[in-house]
Structure formats: C-alpha cells, structure tokens
Amino acid sequence: MRWSKLFVPTLRDAPADAEAASHKLLVRGGFMRQLHAGHYSMLTLGMRVHSKVAAIVRAEMDAIGAQEFQLPTMHPMGLWHKSGRSELMGDEMFRLADRKGTELALGVTEEEVFTTLALELSSYKQLPQHWYQIHTKFRDEPRPKSGLLRVREFTMKDSYSFDLDEAGLDASFDLHYDAYVRIFTRLGLSAMPVEASSGSMGGTESIEFMVPSPAGEDDVVRCPSCDYAANLERSVSVIPTVVDEAGPDAPVRFATPGVRTIAALEEIDGGAPAERQIKTMVMVLDDEVTLALLRGDHQLNLQKLQDATGAAEVRAATPEEALAAMGANPGSLGAVGVELRVIADPALAGRTNMTTGANDDDWHLRGVDVGRDISVSEFAELRDVSVGEGCPKCGTPVEIVRCIESGHIFKLGRKFTEAFDAKVLDPNGKAQHMIMGSYGIGIDRAVATIVETYHDDRGIVWPVAVAPFEAVITIASMKDEAGVAAAEKIYADLGAAGVDVVIDDRKARAGVKFADAELVGIPFRITIGKALADGEVEVTRRAGQITERVAVDSAVSWVVDAVQAAR
C-alpha cells in the first residue's frame, strides 16, 4: 500500500467530547469518524485493525470446531415475545414496524434466532453444536460515550453451544473458556476471568474477561493473594462480626426531628453508629413494592437485588410510592411490623439491638431484633463489597480495580430451548430439551481496549498482530532519487516476504511523516534518509521509540525477523 493513495485523515486535536484515550487516538489517527451519537464509520486503517481482530477471534472459534453463520440483524418481535424478553430488554432495544405494521426489532443478541435454527436438530448424535457469527448488533444506549467503548451500533462475535445435558454444556463451556484465553493472549490483552452476573440473558455460571483500565466502567473485586476475582455485581467478602449489646424486650420509639440520613442518626443523642442501623430501601420489583434491608454503612447493589429475585425490572420507589406503602417519608422508614416482601442482606442476620425508622416522620426505633421484630422474606447478598474487606477464599483484604469488560461467557441452560420447544431424541429415544451456552466478544470494543492498553504521548502503539500495517517505509525526501529507489526495493522485498507494509511516498516534510507514523502506531518504521550515504537506514521500534542503524542490505531481514518474532 502507498500512503499517498490512502485515506488517512489524521488530526492535530481530538474531538472536544472525547474523554477516553482510545476515542481521542482513533479519531485523531484517522481510524474512524462519528456519524452521530454512538455510531461510527470505520475508515481504512480502522477497518484493517478491525478485520485483524475479527480474524484472530474467527481462527480460535474455528479451532474448537465452531461453525460460522450470518443471521439477520432485523428480527420479528414475535421471537422476543415468545422468549419472554421483549419486555425484559425494555428501552435497550430498537423497535420499529414495517409498512404492514409488523413489529420488528434490531438484534441486541441472537439467542432467539439461533434457537429457531436449532429446531432442525433431531438427535443427540448431532450434538454438540457450536455456532457463531461476527455481525452487527444494536443497543439503544442512553448515553453513548468513550468512542467504541459505549456505542449503539457495534460488531459482536456471539456464539452458542447446544448440548444434550449438563456434562456436555460443561465441556462446551470449557472449550470456549480456553479459546477466549488464547484470543486475548493473541490480542495482547491481559484479560482476567472473573465471576459475573448473567443479567437479562439469564443462565447460571457466568464469567467475564476483564482488562484493567481507567477507561473501564466495571469494578472488579480481586484478591492479591489468591485467584478470587469477581465483578462487583457478583462479589462477596468477609466482614468482621459485630457483637451487639443486649437490647430491650421490644423496640422503643424515640423522637428524631429533622433526622433524614444514616449520618445524621449517628450524631444525635440516643442515635447509633451506622453498623448498628438498618437501612430500609423501598424498591419496586416488577410492580411489586419490596423492602431491601442493609446495614447502615453498606450500599445496595441493584444487580445483586435483581439476580436474587429474578425480577425483570428493578427500580427505587418514588417518594410518593414510598409514602403510600409505608405511611412515612424517606429518612423515617423501617421494616418493623410491615406486611410487605422484605429482602435482607446476610450482614443483618441475627442482629439485635438495632436502630431503624419507625414509619412515622421524625421518629425511629431502637432495640430492634431482626429475627424477632422483622418478617424477613429471604436473605440474599445485596451489598457492594468495599476495599479492604476479607477475600471469601483466603481472608486477605481485597482490592477493587476498574476494568473494561472484553468478553462474557455463561451457561444459559434450557430457558430458550424450552421457550421454543427445541428438543432432540436422547439415547433412549426420549425427546429432551437441549441445553445452551452463550459466549460473546465485542470486536469494536476489543479494538478500543487494545488502544487503551497500548498508547503513549505520541499516539497508539499497536501490537504487531492487529496493527493496520506491520511496517512503514518513510522516505525523508521524495527529491532524493537514490533514497526513493532504495525505499522501493525494500518495499517490494518486504511485501514478497509476507510483511504487511506501507510506503510513505507523500511529498510532505519528514517530521509530518514521522508524527503520522507514530500517531497511527505502526510497529516498525524504516527511515530512508541521511544514513543512506553510509549504506544504512534507520529502523525504529514504535514501542519505546528505539532506533538503530542497519545496513541497507540487512533491513529486510531485520524487519522480517522482528515481525515474525512479534506475531
């Protein structure tokens, strides 16, 4: 390729709204352009990187025997009604109708469509089946940001396994797990597998592959001493046991005028420290008013509440709803004597002599015994884990790391095969619903994550495996006939040796060419300039900006060896 013929519109400055490094650099480097919020056009360089990432993913999927499909991006809404997810997806789904009024949706994920194809399977002898596609998906993200990290139109590799039983699913899950480890290794990403929630997809065992990065939007709790790691939404920890003082035989009301917060209740006479308070949160789970109880110094994790209850929609009650259900306003609420569904965090189990709201404005109760005074419907993990709490495996204080979710695999079970009645005959001739697994990697997000991981103050530093070009030949001056001739020969020889090379033959200043090569992050640069008078060229490794002089006749073998070692 010749740079003079490429469309690489590099920019001096990043977009004003760009916050993430990948957003800034992919726009500045001419890899992509925004069409409108959450939708990007991939230009020549961007498409080359995108294709190389997809090729690595495709190669590892093919290596485990997965078969590639391509499915429509527009789905009949009837499929989503049948699976029960049309409401569950809510506003995340783009919905439309054709000229006949048929309800349609743009695909967010492909469980429904792949399951309809599995209806043509008839015998256990055809299992396992591993099917995948690399295709466009849509999500009506309310706040697109950070370039390719949070968008509304994106490319996903999503794959699905179909097995007869749990043992088969375990094997398929392990195959995908190992493939994902290889994929992220080849992409140069230090992706750690962590326990996760399956969210709206349902299912059981769930693992996310997380790449530590300040640009991420997920918090991962991990132990520095053992292998424990979990998304904050799934994490648990060990906290010190609180020894309660003896309390009265029944709760005692006391006035708390103007007290509306946990902190304020700590400060007044007769109040209580946060760990001895019960925080009462009025929630609405699928239109059912429910109380979520936590220790006063703990924070509610909404995903944990949703996972524990199986609710499709979870939200905080409005002040009006809370008043109607409880008879008091927030700040004076409690679960004593309340006839509602009550879900409590295990940190409250067995606690006595606690303080909580009395469901009467400006009044609280002290001496509350959770087991005696509150009708807890169920105990479930509801709280966020905090830094320094004990690892559930070894007790070491945990740390919390901000990460980018780069892949997700989980066991779907039979939710979709039962909804669509997808069965095969087992060895005894009995019809059985197949069991499924689901496995996703965002291709665009992987591109952005690589940039977040590999960049410096000059621009992107692509790993060789995904770089738009492996090497660039920079001709310092197009007026130097000997230099042009030497560059053309090296260019031809590198191409013949299988190196993905571009020659910068633009009639531009050498400094402009150097800056562009550094910005777009090409791993190796051969500069044809003043050193040619000594029979040498300069070869620069983009990583670390290390430059050395090499004999002209050795330049090709030097680059070939370096590229092959880094692939």
Range(s) of the domain holding residue 221: 17-235+400-451
Q: Is residue 5 part of a domain?
A: no
Q: Based on the domain organization, do 89 and 202 belong to the same domain?
A: yes
pLDDT reading at 201 higher than 60 = no
Q: Which residue has the tokens 């035989």?
A: 249
Q: Based on the domain organization, do 360 and 408 belong to the same domain?
A: no
How far is the C-alpha of 218 from the C-alpha of 280, rounded, in Å? 26
Tally of structural domains, the chain: 3
The structure tokens listed for 154 are: 């994106």
Q: Based on the domain organization, do 196 and 258 belong to the same domain?
A: no
At residue 197, the pLDDT reads 80
pLDDT reading at 227 higher than 60 = yes
- Cβ–Cβ under 8 Å, residues 479 and 544: no
- Cβ–Cβ under 8 Å, residues 79 and 72: no
CA atoms within 13 A on the CB side of 307: 22
Give per-residue pLDDT as tens, 109-166: 999 999 999 999 999 999 999 999 999 999 999 999 999 999 999 999 999 999 999 9
How far is the C-alpha of 293 from the C-alpha of 295, rounded, in Å? 7
At residue 433, the pLDDT reads 98
Q: Based on the domain organization, do 49 and 146 belong to the same domain?
A: yes
Confidence of residue 50 (pLDDT cuts 50, 70, 90): very high
Share of the chain above pLDDT 70, in %: 99
Q: Based on the domain organization, do 99 and 151 belong to the same domain?
A: yes
Q: Based on the domain organization, do 260 and 227 belong to the same domain?
A: no
pLDDT reading at 191 higher than 80 = yes
At residue 567, the pLDDT reads 83
pLDDT reading at 564 higher than 90 = yes
Q: Based on the domain organization, do 433 and 479 belong to the same domain?
A: no
- Cβ–Cβ under 8 Å, residues 473 and 528: yes
Give per-residue pLDDT as tens, 425-467: 999 999 999 999 999 999 999 999 999 999 999 999 999 999 9
At residue 203, the pLDDT reads 57
Q: Is residue 85 part of a domain?
A: yes
Q: Is residue 384 part of a domain?
A: no
Share of the chain above pLDDT 90, in %: 95
Report the DSSP beta bridge partners of residue 390: 238, 397
Alpha helix ranges (H) inside 401-480: 415-419, 443-453
Q: How far is CA 452 from CA 50, 349, 376, 424, 500, in A?
A: 15, 43, 46, 45, 23
> How large is the average pLDDT for residues 9-28?
95
What is the overall mean pLDDT for the chain? 96
How far is the C-alpha of 108 from the C-alpha of 200, rounded, in Å? 11
Q: Based on the domain organization, do 326 and 433 belong to the same domain?
A: no
At residue 204, the pLDDT reads 67
pLDDT reading at 244 higher than 80 = yes
| Residue 269: CATH number of its domain | 3.90.960.10
Give per-residue pLDDT as tens, 509-519: 999 999 999 99
Q: Which residues contact 181 (CB under 8 A, 6 or more apart)?
A: 191, 193
Confidence of residue 1 (pLDDT cuts 50, 70, 90): very high
- Cβ–Cβ under 8 Å, residues 85 and 79: no
At residue 212, the pLDDT reads 96
At residue 392, the pLDDT reads 96
| Residue 555: CATH number of its domain | 3.40.50.800
At residue 246, the pLDDT reads 87
Give per-residue pLDDT as tens, 54-86: 999 999 999 999 999 999 999 999 999 999 999
Q: Is residue 146 part of a domain?
A: yes
Give per-residue pLDDT as tens, 301-333: 999 999 999 898 899 999 999 999 999 999 999
Confidence of residue 199 (pLDDT cuts 50, 70, 90): low
Q: Based on the domain organization, do 433 and 481 belong to the same domain?
A: no
pLDDT reading at 198 higher than 70 = no
Give per-residue pLDDT as tens, 491-503: 999 999 999 999 9
Q: Based on the domain organization, do 200 and 319 belong to the same domain?
A: no
Q: Based on the domain organization, do 100 and 231 belong to the same domain?
A: yes
Q: Is residue 271 part of a domain?
A: yes
The one-letter amino acid at 536:
E
Confidence of residue 87 (pLDDT cuts 50, 70, 90): confident
Q: Based on the domain organization, do 262 and 231 belong to the same domain?
A: no
Q: What's the 3-state SS for 313-336? A: CEEECCHHHHHHHHCCCCCCCCCC
Q: Is residue 66 part of a domain?
A: yes
Q: Is residue 11 part of a domain?
A: no
Q: Is residue 23 part of a domain?
A: yes
- Cβ–Cβ under 8 Å, residues 434 and 162: yes
State the burial class of residue 479 (Cβ atoms within 10 Å of its Cβ: 0-12, 13-18, 19+): exposed
pLDDT reading at 300 higher than 60 = yes
> How large is the average pLDDT for residues 333-355?
96
